Amino acid sequence: MRDTTVARSYAEALFELGERHGVHDDFAQGLNTITSLLESDVRVRAFLETPKIEVEKKKSALRRALGDQVSPTFMNFVLVVLQKRRQRLIHAIAAAYRELLDEKLGRLHVQVTLAHEPDEAAEQAVTAELSRILGRSVIPHISVDPALLGGIVVRYGDRVMDGSLRRRLVSLRHRMIEAALPMGA
Which fold is adopted by the domain 2-103? Peroxidase; domain 1 (1.10.520)
DSSP state of 143: E
Continuous H helices in the chain? 2-21, 24-40, 42-49, 55-66, 72-83, 90-105, 120-134, 165-178
Residue 139: strand, helix, or coil: strand
pLDDT at 185: 53
Residue 87: strand, helix, or coil: helix
pLDDT digits 0-9 by tens, 76-130: 999 999 999 999 999 999 999 999 999 999 999 999 999 889 999 999 999 999 9
Give the least confident one: 8-22, 29-43, 98-112, 171-185. 171-185
pLDDT at 65: 86
For residue 177, is pLDDT > 90? Answer: no
pLDDT at 163: 80
Name the percent of the chain lying above pLDDT 70: 97
Whole-Å CA distances, 97 to 24, 94, 176: 10, 5, 49
pLDDT band at residue 1 under the 50/70/90 scheme: low
pLDDT at 157: 84
pLDDT digits 0-9 by tens, 129-157: 999 999 999 999 999 998 888 888 999 98
pLDDT at 184: 61
Query: Burial level of 26, CB count in 10 A (0-12/13-18/19+)?
Result: middle
Task: Assess contact for 8 and 96: CB atoms under 8 A.
Answer: yes
pLDDT digits 0-9 by tens, 2-25: 888 999 999 999 999 999 999 999
Nearest Cα residue to 62 out of 82, 43, 46 = 82
pLDDT at 141: 94
Task: Assess contact for 149 and 164: CB atoms under 8 A.
Answer: yes
Q: Break the chain into its structural domains and give their ranges.
A: 2-103, 106-178
